[in-house]
Amino acid sequence: MIRVAVVDDEALVRSGLRLILGTAPDIEVVAECSGASAVNTVLGSRADVVLLDIRMPDADGLTVLRQLRAAPRSPAVAMLTTFDVQEYLAAALRAGAAGFLLKDTDPEQLVRAVRTLAEGGSVLDPAVTRAVIGGYLAAEAEATAAEAVEALTPREREVLALLGEGLANPQIADRMGLAPSTVKDHVRAVLGKLGGLNRVQAAIVADRAGLVTSRPPIGGAR
């Protein structure tokens, strides 16, 4: 069972997400709260996945993100966002966000995204992908990203391309016909050669370097 915590200052948003996720037999919303009590509530719930509002009046979503990521058993955190918070996206990415979802994400896509996050994958809503890439690499040219992947082997570039699609390790293993342990080693090598990036940052580098020719629906191909 995937344990999910929802952090948003609006009770209506929390209730809506709980209702949607409650339709999935393998997902349980174990906690919901506003930002003020987020860190203690989330860590106390032992959530696997956190849906966190990026901007709340009673707490800084980025601060909550950093504190959760610093915890010994850190859950995967996807930021809930709207179109008017682009200035926060790059900071959330650097703080370790595993993805970005719009608050009005389609219910089926939301469920799929939570499953992908629980498997260790990343999720980028197509509607905000361009904003995330622009915010994170605004000062970088495409050539910079291309140079970053030159040190990778052909197999590692293939892995990076699949990271760019938001796939988790089991999905990459299925796609490439490799053992999950082998994929894990390749992913670790790729992230290390790219300067210790996380999976979402690596996905953005893959996109900017031209390795991602198409992006599947939120949560990757199933």
HSE value, Cβ hemisphere, 13 Å, CA-based, for 102: 15
More confident residue, 146 or 137: 146
The secondary element (H helix, E strand) that includes residue 186 is helix 180-193
What is the Cα 154 distance to its own chain's centre? 25
> What is the pTM (predicted TM-score) of this model?
0.71
**Over the stretch 148-197, which tens digit does the pLDDT of each residue have?**
788 899 999 999 999 988 888 999 999 999 999 999 999 999 988 887 77
pLDDT of residue 219: 52
How many contiguous H segments (helices) and E segments (strands) does the chain have? 11, 6
Name beta bridge partners: 101: 80
Tell me what pLDDT residue 180 has. Answer: 92
Mean pLDDT over residues 82-87, rounded?
62
State the average pLDDT for the chain: 84
Residue 217 has a pLDDT of 46
More confident residue, 118 or 215: 118
pLDDT higher than 90, residue 135: no
CA distances from 184 to 148, 193, 219 (A): 20, 14, 19
Rounded CA separation 66/68 (Å): 5
Q: Which residue has the higher pLDDT, 189 or 202?
A: 189
How far apart CA 9 and CA 135 sit, in angstroms, is: 25
Best mean pLDDT range from 47-51, 129-133, 165-169, 210-214:
47-51
- 16 contacts 105 by C-beta, under 8 angstroms: no
pLDDT digits (tens, 9 = 90+) for 1-10: 999 999 999 9
Please name the helix (run of DSSP H) or strand (run of DSSP E) that holds residue 159, with its range, or none: helix 154-164
> What pLDDT does 54 receive?
87
The answer to whether the beta carbons of residues 123 and 116 sit under 8 Å apart is yes
pLDDT higher than 80, residue 52: yes
Question: What's the mean pLDDT in 131-141?
Answer: 54
User: How far from 27 is each of 43, 128, 171, 173, CA to CA, in Å?
Assistant: 18, 25, 19, 24
d(CA 22, CA 189): 37
Which residue do the tokens 């796939």 mark? 167
Is the pLDDT confidence value at 127 over 80?
A: no
Percent of the chain predicted with pLDDT > 90: 49
Structure-block tokens of residue 217: 């629906």
Residues facing 85 on adjacent strands: none
